[in-house]
Structure 1
Amino acid sequence: MSSNLDKMTIFRAKASVKSFSAIFDISTEPLPQFTYQSNGFEIEGIVKYADVGGKSKTEADYPWMVMLNGLSENINLKFSNKNTSPSAVLCLKITRDVDDTLFYVLTFGMHTSRFINSDKLVNDFGIKVAMNICDHNNLRKVNTTTHSSVSTLTDRQASKGANLEIFDINDEKEFFRSISGSTYENYPYIKSFSGKSSITVNIKKGTNVTDDGIIDILLNLEEAYNLEEYKEKFPSYGRLDYVSDEDEVDKLNKALFNLLKNKEYSCVNLSPSVIMDDNVSYFSYKDPEADEPFDKFEDLNISDLVDQNYGFTQKSSIKTVLNWKVYYVNTSEDIFTMRAYNCLNCELEENGITYILSSGVWRNVSSDFKCEVESYVINNIKDRSNEYLPNDISIRCVVKEKGIDVVKFKEEAYNSYVAKSNSEIYLFDKAKINIAGKNRYEICDLLHKDKQLIHVKVLKGGTSSLSHLFVQSRFYTDAFVKDIDTRKAMIKFINENENPENANKDKGEFLSIIKEKRAELQESTFSVLLCILTYEKEKNIDDLPFMAKYELANTHKYLIDERGIELAYAIRLVNKRA
Structure 2
Amino acid sequence: MEDKKPYLYLNAFLAKDEHASLQAAEYLKRSSQVNSYELDSKYELEGKLFVKIPTEKKPKWSGFTEDITGVSLDELANRSSSAVLIIKTSQATIAFTFGYGRFLIDAKYFVQDFGIKTALNTLNHDSLRSVDLFTLEDQAVQKKSQASRESSVGVFGIDISRDVLRAVTGSPKDGVSLRNISGGDAIYSFGIEMDVEEIPKLVDLLSDYYANDSYKSNFSWVDNIRKIKEKSEIDYLDLKLVDKIKAKSTEIIITIPEIIQWDSIYGFSFTRTKSSIKPIIEPKEYLDNIDVATLSIESIKRDRLFVYDVHENEHEHQIYKCIYFEHKETDKTYILFAGLWYEIDNSFVTRVDATLSQIEISSLAFPKVYVWDEVKDGKTKLKIEPEGDYNERASASHAYHLLDKKLIKSNRTTTSIELCDLMTDSKQFIHVKHRKGGSAGLSHLFAQGSVSAEILLGDKEFRKKARTVLKKVRSGLQDAVPLDSFKSDGVEVVFLILGEDSATLKSNLPFFSKVNLSKAFENLSQRGFKVSIAGVETEPKPTA
1:349 aligns to what? 327
1:54 aligns to what? 58
1:105 aligns to 2:95 (yes or no): yes
Amino acid at match of 1:109: G
1:564 aligns to 2:528 (yes or no): yes
Q: Which runs of structure 2 are paired with 1:198-277 in the superposition (5 Å)?
A: 198-204=186-192, 206-208=193-195, 210=196, 212-240=197-225, 248-254=233-239, 266=254, 269=257
Q: Which runs of structure 2 are paired with 1:383-532 in the superposition (5 Å)?
A: 383-384=361-362, 386-390=363-367, 392-394=368-370, 409-423=385-399, 425-436=400-411, 440-460=416-436, 462-496=438-472, 507-515=474-482, 517=483, 519-532=484-497
Point out where structure 2 has 5 or more consecutive residues left out of the alignment: 260-293, 303-317
Specify the SS of the correspondent of 2:185. coil
1:134 aligns to 2:123 (yes or no): yes
Deviation (angstroms), 1:555: 1.0
2:168 aligns to what? 179
2:305 aligns to what? none
Specify the SS of the correspondent of 1:540. helix
Deviation (angstroms), 1:43: 2.2
Task: Find the aligned partners of 1:103 and 1:374 in 2 and give their Cα distance.
Answer: 42
Is contact 2:49-2:83 (8 Å) kept? no
Deviations 1:535-563 (A, max 9, x none): 579533112222222221111111222x3
Amino acid at match of 2:224: R
Q: Which runs of structure 2 are paired with 1:1-16 in the superposition (5 Å)?
A: 4=6, 6-16=8-18
Amino acid at match of 2:116: I
Is contact 1:139-1:163 (8 Å) kept? yes
Amino acid at match of 1:12: L
Q: Which runs of structure 2 are paired with 1:78-93 in the superposition (5 Å)?
A: 82=76, 84-90=78-84, 92=86
TM-score by length of 2: 0.72
427-436 or 249-258, which deviates more:
249-258
Residue identity (%): 22
Deviations 1:323-367 (A, max 9, x none): xxxxxxxxxxxxxxxxx9xx9996522357521468998543222
Task: Find the aligned partners of 1:154 and 1:123 in 2 and give their Cα distance.
Answer: 20
Task: Find the aligned partners of 2:59 and 2:141 in 1 and give their Cα distance.
Answer: 33
Is contact 1:129-1:199 (8 Å) kept? no
| Distance of aligned partners of 1:167 and 1:372 in 2 relative to their CA distance in 1, 3 Å threshold | same
Is contact 2:443-2:517 (8 Å) kept? no
173-182 or 447-456, which deviates more:
173-182
1:275 aligns to what? none
Deviations 1:379-401 (A, max 9, x none): x21121x53223x3215699x9x
Deviation (angstroms), 1:36: 6.6
Deviations 1:47-86 (A, max 9, x none): 435458632427979xxxxxxxxxxxxxx9xxx8846352
Is contact 1:434-1:440 (8 Å) kept? yes
Point out where structure 1 has 5 or more consecutive residues left out of the alignment: 62-75, 272-313, 323-339, 498-506
2:291 aligns to what? none
1:27 aligns to what? 31
Match of 1:372 among 351, 355, 364: 351
Deviation (angstroms), 1:180: 1.3
Task: Find the aligned partners of 1:8 and 1:359 in 2 and give their Cα distance.
Answer: 35
Is contact 2:258-2:440 (8 Å) kept? no
Deviations 1:477-517 (A, max 9, x none): 233333344334434434556xxxxxxxxx134232133x2
Task: Find the aligned partners of 2:297 and 2:157 in 1 and give their Cα distance.
Answer: 42
Amino acid at match of 2:9: K
1:381 aligns to 2:348 (yes or no): no
Task: Find the aligned partners of 1:359 and 1:426 in 2 and give their Cα distance.
Answer: 37
Specify the SS of the correspondent of 1:235. helix
Is contact 1:22-1:120 (8 Å) kept? no
Deviations 1:26-45 (A, max 9, x none): 43586425367798763244
Aligned residues: 471
Amino acid at match of 1:574: T
Task: Find the aligned partners of 2:102 and 2:480 in 1 and give their Cα distance.
Answer: 60
Is contact 1:50-1:87 (8 Å) kept? yes
Deviations 1:129-159 (A, max 9, x none): 1111122333322333444544344444333
1:276 aligns to what? none
Deviations 1:301-341 (A, max 9, x none): xxxxxxxxxxxxx798569979xxxxxxxxxxxxxxxxx9x
Deviation (angstroms), 1:240: 3.2
Task: Find the aligned partners of 2:135 and 2:256 in 1 and give their Cα distance.
Answer: 16
| Distance of aligned partners of 1:257 and 1:35 in 2 relative to their CA distance in 1, 3 Å threshold | farther
1:94 aligns to what? 88
Task: Find the aligned partners of 2:299 and 2:439 in 1 and give their Cα distance.
Answer: 26
1:121 aligns to what? 110
Task: Find the aligned partners of 2:462 and 2:164 in 1 and give their Cα distance.
Answer: 34
| Distance of aligned partners of 1:168 and 1:458 in 2 relative to their CA distance in 1, 3 Å threshold | closer
Specify the SS of the correspondent of 2:365. coil
Is contact 1:57-1:82 (8 Å) kept? no
Is contact 2:116-2:188 (8 Å) kept? no
Amino acid at match of 2:537: L
TM-score by length of 1: 0.68
Task: Find the aligned partners of 2:97 and 2:28 in 1 and give their Cα distance.
Answer: 12
Deviation (angstroms), 1:163: 3.9
Task: Find the aligned partners of 1:439 and 1:42 in 2 and give their Cα distance.
Answer: 62
Task: Find the aligned partners of 2:389 and 2:258 in 1 and give their Cα distance.
Answer: 29
